Amino acid sequence: MADLSVNFAGIKSPNPFWLASGPLTNTGYQVAKAFDEGWGGAVWKTVGEPVVNVSSRLGGLDYGGRRMMGLNNIELISDRSLEDNLREIAQVKRRFPDQAVVVSVMVESRPEAWADVLHQIEDTGADGVEMNFGCPHGMSERGMGSIIGQVPDYTCQITGYAKSFTKLPVIVKLTPNVTDIRNPARSAVLGGADALSLINTINSVMGIDLDTWRPLPHVDGRGSHGGYCGPAVKPIALHMVSSIAQDEGVGVPISGIGGIETWRDAVEFLLLGASTVQVCTAAMHYGFRIVREMTDGLNDYLNARGMARVGELTGGALNRLGDWNDLNLSYQVVARIDQQKCVGCNLCYIACDDGGHQCIDLIPGQKVPLVREADCVGCNLCSLVCPVPGCIDMVPIETGRPAKTWRGLA
Amino acid sequence: MPEFTSDLVMHEVVGPLTTAEAREEALRCYYCYDAPCIRGCPTAIDIPVFIKHIATGHLLGAARTILDANPLGATCARICPTEALCEGACVRGQDSRPVAIGRLQRTATDAAMAGEVPDLPEFATAGHGRVAVVGAGPSGLSAASYLRRLGYEVDVFEERPAGGGLDTYGIVSFREPVAVSLWEVERAAKMGVQFHYGVRAGRDVSWDALREGWDAVVLAVGLGRVPRLGIGGEELPGVYDALELVEASKTGPLEAIRLFGTVAVVGAGNTAVDAATLAKRLGADRVIILYRRGEEAMPAYAYEYAFAKQEGIEYRWWTRPLAITGASRVEGIRVVSTRPASGQARSDRQAQLEDVADSVQDIPVSAVIRAVGQEKPGQIWSALGVLVREGRVVVDSETFETSLTGVYAIGDGLARPGEATVVQGVADGKRCAFAVHHRLTTGRED
Ligand SMILES: Cc1cc2nc3c(=O)[nH]c(=O)nc-3n(C[C@H](O)[C@H](O)[C@H](O)COP(=O)(O)OP(=O)(O)OC[C@H]3O[C@@H](n4cnc5c(N)ncnc54)[C@H](O)[C@@H]3O)c2cc1C
Ligand SMILES: Cc1cc2nc3c(=O)[nH]c(=O)nc-3n(C[C@H](O)[C@H](O)[C@H](O)COP(=O)(O)O)c2cc1C
Ligand code: SF4
């Protein structure tokens, strides 16, 4: 059994799987149930001034017969009273001393407001706070959420307030709705953030009903842009996590969020610099129980690689990611089609001919298309469209050319 | 129009897919390029496209794709031997199981039959003139539909009181309800095809009149009755022609043809399976199929054979009938065991057979059904004076034109070797319609 426990900026949890702030962590009932199922931590649904939430709130993007490849919401922060939230947080923390209870918070940008709420949170016994600078809808129209996260100076300033009013570890949750995530990340660290979490949801319009022309989701016929999350956003999140993990000006622990559904997704976040991960959509889709497969899978993965602690994964693949300028321009792969596995669907042919480099031929009377290796640029497209696992391999070939990079040439 | 009551009493064996099943099945399609399934379909329906339409919940588009390529798409969805055609070619048969193309086609055409009837794309060229089609079976309906879409006035002469040919009169209702076939006829009528029922060409309208009054004549006359076995006792009450039995089960009250006890079916093709499974539904306790060759040479499709087994039909291989016995009606059938003559393979359908000595046996039965193929329409060819070779009318392999200019022949009537299918007749009708159009617009045959 590998050691899955983590110490995240002073917040201890038995495993790196946390529930992200959202509908899953709205009540003491839910968080207690989640901990019973095996979640290592939970970030409480963002608390703050009371709000009114709308009905309806969620929209799903389906793909290929699978539901909710993407999810969007126009929900605001908790619409329960601060007192109720704080009381339940205290109860849960008392019952689950070993699990991480982090309180997400968002109040007006006045120092007194932050002082007040942070003191009350400290009194609950919670392990840390997460500052929600990421909510892209509603709250941002009132000067909170992503409106803070999008202006580095504000991020720095408000983080500073928080740090001055509490001794709890402060995590700043970043919005992805910026051109370069490193700027707000650096500002948060400058303001004193102990850790960063990302990504919050991405600005999005889910769709329009073709019969009624109503936006999805709609509230009495009208819609608003909402926050996008779920499996579809994972690549965006991985990029953002890795780019701040590599940034010299950051250097604090990272909690990776965005599209995590399986232990495999989680391992990718860890390898690119996260030390905990947070899950929202997947658990909303399938329930808290998914954490069991996640911990089992992660444990087996570590065992199979002879790794004792989950922390050993953090940042493990970061050195392989970098500038385009450092890629080896002499490296060459070509497509090889497995004659036995090919089913003859010709999808590689049409993809290469129309959207590739015209180097696959159909041979009359022959099932398997033929790759003209001399013309293959090695773009991968054919192997990506091939429906049969392992049928098209991208094989490195010896070019005889010495390794060279763009940077080296310049 | 006669009354067809069988749909009410004999339910389809294979039901429709549920909406969820259809969607899941549609999503299994790889959307192959130059898809092998299309090549497996004689009418070349753009299968990946119609399946994609189903996946996106656009059944109207799916039905359009199908009916554009095959006006008998609803019949074909039910009775095509898909394992030998599109599904046999589907690449998913290699990594999983083939996409259920036939049943998906049914999902789309069922929606069309329920009222969502698509309009069909117009052809770029339009001809004008009159074409006569003889026979309103699948091949005739196909030719008529395409000729109509190409702009021709089309008159269909059909000797029976309703159209659809064997789809209406010869396919057992539990495989294809009559309503499906009649819907297809009605669609052709709605396109403007003129149907003349109860008119037998060569009798009620002369061949000469047809050739003189119309710019082209398409013969889609199908095949004839089941031939006689040529053994004693065939006149006895209780001996049936499989096709007549099927027809009676569709057009008359079922009480009129109650079977009982043990029934023997002679022949082991698809018609025999239909006759045997029908006999069960008509009251037979036990049905035995007698075939003079072995299981290896049986001409029925694997799925037909499986269906027969599932219905509890018994088979007696290497068994040849010698005589039907009985005083005033069928009481038994006398049979002899056979084997391939020395040096002949058991699986060879053409192998010479010899009787096994001392193996004659009497099987007590209450009825015998003949299901040994259909007669060729020889008199029609001789009345017309078209070139015939080995009993088969000679046609151009591209245009289906006979030795008489402007006279074409399509469908089962060509008596091609191998199993005759609806979809082949439809494909013939389509190709022939374009050949007629080409001839009438260019005056040339090429
Ligand atoms: C029992 C049975 C089961 C079958 N099962 C299948 C199956 O599962 N799948 C499959 O694909 N195929 C099946 N077939 C074959 C299929 O029915 C035929 O291939 C198809 O019907 C051929 O169409 P056709 O238009 O050429 O001929 P037909 O369907 O025979 O139609 C010919 C029409 O021409 C009319 N006609 C003939 N002579 C004249 C005349 N002189 N004047 C006017 N009208 C005339 C007839 O009345 C008839 O309506 C089955 C056949 C049988 C007998
Ligand atoms: C319905 C809904 C409500 C959310 N509410 C909050 C919130 O109150 N505070 C917050 O920081 N993030 C909120 N989020 C964002 C998630 O915490 C998370 O950052 C995002 O969903 C990406 O993770 P995922 O792809 O696993 O869903 C919410 C997400 C959803 C779907
Ligand atoms: S062969 Fe099968 S998978 Fe390919 S397009 Fe046809 S139905 Fe789809």
For residue A203, the cross-strand partners are A227
| Residue B44 CA, distance from chain mean position | 18
Task: For chain B, say whether A384 makes contact (Cβ under 8 Å).
Answer: no
Smallest CA–CA distance, residue B187 to chain A, in Å, is 29
Query: For residue B3, is pLDDT > 80?
Result: no
Query: Cβ of B94 and A343 within 8 Å?
Result: yes
Q: In this predicted model, what pLDDT tens digit does every residue of A213-239 receive, in sequence order?
A: 999 999 999 999 999 999 999 999 999
Q: Starting at the edge strand that comes first in sequence, how are the strands of the sheet with A226-229 ordered?
A: A58-63, A66-73, A226-229, A202-204
**For residue B348, what pLDDT is reported?**
86
Average pLDDT, chain A: 95
Minimum Cα–Cα distance from A386: chain B residue = B30
Whether A376 is a known active-site residue: answer: no
Using the Cβ of A243 and the Cβ atoms of chain B, whether some distance falls under 8 Å is answered with no
Encoded tokens for B99: 């996409």
Cα(B230)–Cα(B243) distance, integer angstroms: 18
**What is the distance between the alpha carbons of residues B353 and B351, in angstroms, rounded to a whole number?**
6
Lookup result for tokens 């009551």 = B5
Rounded to whole angstroms, the Cα distance separating B78 from B179 reads: 13
Supply the pLDDT for residue B257: 87
Give pLDDT, residue B356.
94
| pLDDT band at A312; cut points 50, 70, 90 | very high
User: In this model, does residue B302 exceed pLDDT 70?
Assistant: yes
Which chain B residues are Cβ-neighbours of A346 within 8 angstroms?
32-35
CA neighbours closer than 13 Å in the CB half-sphere of residue B59: 17
Tens digits of per-residue pLDDT, A61-103? 999 888 999 999 999 999 999 999 999 999 999 999 999 999 9
The HSE-up count of residue B200 (CA atoms within 13 Å, CB side) is 4
Chain A contacts of B92, Cβ < 8 Å? 343
In the prediction, which pLDDT does B1 show?
66
Asked if B260 has any chain A CB less than 8 Å from its own CB, the reply is no
How high is the pLDDT of residue A65?
Answer: 83
Smallest CA–CA separation between A388 and chain B, in Å?
8
The token duo for A64 is 């290929």
Q: State residue B445's pLDDT score.
A: 53
Taking the C-alpha atoms of residue A100 and residue A103, their distance in angstroms, rounded to an integer, is 10
Percent of chain A with pLDDT over 90: 92
Residues A378 and A335 sit within 8 Å (Cβ to Cβ): yes
Query: Mean of the pLDDT values across residues A288-295?
Result: 94
DSSP sequence for B106-124: HHHHHHHHTT-PPP-PPPS
pLDDT tens, position by position, B89-141: 999 999 999 999 999 999 999 999 999 899 999 898 889 899 999 999 999 99
Q: How far is the CA of B422 from the centre of ligand 1 (A)?
A: 8
Closest by CA to A15, choosing from A3, A25, A28, A1, is A3
Q: Residue A64: its chain B contacts at CB < 8 A?
A: 27
Distance from CA of B90 to the nearest CA of A (A): 9
| ipTM for this model | 0.76
Residue with CA at minimum distance from ligand 3 atom 6 = B37
A113, pLDDT greater than 90: yes
Residue identifier of the C-alpha nearest atom 4 of ligand 3 = B32
Q: Say yes or no for a CB contact (<8 Å) between A350 and B33.
A: yes
- Cβ atoms of A276 and A255 within 8 Å: the answer is yes
Q: pLDDT digit string (tens) for B147-193?
A: 999 999 999 999 999 999 999 999 999 999 999 999 999 999 999 99
Rounded mean pLDDT, B397-401: 97
- Does any CB of chain A come closer than 8 Å to the CB of residue B129? no
Give the percent of chain B with pLDDT over 90: 85
pLDDT of res. B221:
97
Mean pLDDT, residues A115-119 taken together: 96
pTM above 0.80, yes or no: yes
> Residue B80's pLDDT is what?
96
Report the Cα–Cα distance between both ends of chain A, in Å, rounded. Answer: 50
- Residue A314: pLDDT above 60? yes
Express as a percent the part of chain B with pLDDT over 70.
99
Do residues A381 and A334 make contact, with C-beta atoms less than 8 angstroms apart?
Answer: no
> Would you call A341 exposed, middle or buried from its count of C-beta atoms within 10 A (0-12, 13-18, 19+)?
middle
Domains and CATH numbers, chain A: 6-320 (3.20.20.70), 324-409 (3.30.70.20)
The C-alpha torsion from B42 through B46 and B52 to B53, rounded to 10°, is -100
What confidence tens digit (pLDDT) does each residue in A37-66 have?
Answer: 999 999 999 999 889 999 999 999 999 888
Per the CB < 8 A criterion, the answer to whether B185 and B175 are in contact is no
Residue B444 has what pLDDT? 58
Among B28, B91, B96, B99, which would you mutate to test the A interface (most chain A Cβ atoms within 10 Å of its Cβ)?
B91
pLDDT digits over A351-384, tens only?
999 999 999 999 999 999 999 999 999 999 999 9
Q: Which of B82, B422, B428, B430 to mutate to test the pocket of ligand 1 (most atoms within 8 A of CB)?
A: B422
- pLDDT tens digit sequence for B280-289: 999 999 999 9
Residue A104 CB neighbour total at 10 angstroms: 27
Angle at B12 between CA B418 and CA B107, to 5 degrees: 85
Q: Are strands B332-340 and B353-355 parallel, antiparallel or unpaired?
A: antiparallel
Least confident of A288-302, B6-20, B224-238: B6-20
Would you state the pLDDT for residue A318? 97
In which band, very low, low, confident or very high, does the pLDDT at B254 lie, cut at 50, 70 and 90? confident
A353 to chain B: closest CA residue: B33
- Is it the case that residue A386 has pLDDT exceeding 80? yes
- Picking from A65, A346, A388, the nearest residue to B34 by CB comes out as A346
Residue B162: closest CA among B142, B148, B141, B191: B141
SS3 of A37-52: HCCCEEEEEEEECCCC
Instruction: Judge whether residue A138 has pLDDT over 80.
Output: no
| A contacts of B24 (beta carbons < 8 Å) | 65
Output the pLDDT for position A295.
95
CB atoms B91 and A64 under 8 Å: no
Task: Name the average pLDDT for chain B.
Answer: 94
Which ligand lies nearest the alpha carbon of B41?
3
pLDDT score for A409:
86
pLDDT at B244 exceeding the cut of 90? yes
